[in-house]
Structure 1
């Protein structure tokens, strides 16, 4: 028998669209927010295309030009091995570029919108409107994403 039949109820689900819905809608309609979302999508798409494209070029070269990739560069190092190791470098550069892009261009704007969404209300200084079933954060606790 499940716990729900014994009188235990699961905690109530809280949707993201509770008390902040008008503020969320105002922010999502903001042209600056729309530009932020477009820039985030565009950069993510560009980095994905570069990563997948680099891997696809490597696979196609190894399939159709094995003689070229077997040519020796230095000792046992062949062009194919160098290009294969270059895939790790390419992924590291893409990951680093993504992190830098998010930190410098997206995060500051997103923090501004988050501050705007959670600005103090009539509940008192430093307090924000919160659903009654959500416990307030205590000092020294860290919130999850």
Structure 2
């Protein structure tokens, strides 16, 4: 029998898992990483945009040859994106994936 339409007295398996403390903990862990990291990156990007708009002389300051502060900060935007991605992958591998795997086995065990 398929679990998609299967219901018990307490709802489908998916509804029971969603209501479980383990699933709530998994969501909290994800949110504790994603929300602050997203806010930090958006602030970092906004600073770059504001500097480019309101401090063009500062952004045009040459560091070496034609390499300017604006170019450096722009390149650091890419570096920070890759850094955040790497941190998220490590976090997910160590924290989220094991908990999600346990929930998956719980769902498949009741199928």
Q: TM-score range by the shorter chain?
A: 0.7 to 0.9
Match of 1:89 in 2: 79
Residue 49 of structure 1: how far off its partner (Å): 1.3
Deviation >6 Å, runs of 4+? none
Deviation at 1:86, TM superposition (A): 0.6
Q: Please state whether the residue corresponding to 2:91 is helix, strand or coil.
A: helix
Please, what TM-score do these two structures have when normalized by structure 1?
A: 0.66
1:49 equivalent in structure 2: 39
Match of 1:126 in 2: none
Trace 1:120-139 onto structure 2 (pairs within 5 A): 129=111
Report which stretch shifted further, 79-88 or 67-76.
67-76
2:90 equivalent to 1:103 = no
Aligned counterparts of 1:25 and 1:79: Cα–Cα separation in 2: 52
**Aligned equivalents of 2:27 and 2:53: distance in 1?**
38
Runs of at least 5 residues in structure 1 that lack an aligned partner in the other structure = 1-14, 122-128, 130-145
Structure that is richer in helix per residue: 2
Identify unmatched segments of 5+ residues in structure 2: none
Asked if structure 1 preserves the Cα contact closer than 8 Å seen for 2:61 and 2:69, the reply is yes
Q: Which has the larger radius of gyration?
A: 1
Query: How many equivalent pairs are there?
Result: 107
Q: Distance in 2 between matches of 1:112 and 1:85?
A: 40
Q: Which has the higher contact order (CA 8 A, sep 6+)?
A: 2
Encode CA deviations 1:37-91: one digit per residue, 9 max, x unaligned. Answer: 1221232222221222111110001111111111111121111110011110011
> TM-score, length-normalised on structure 2?
0.84
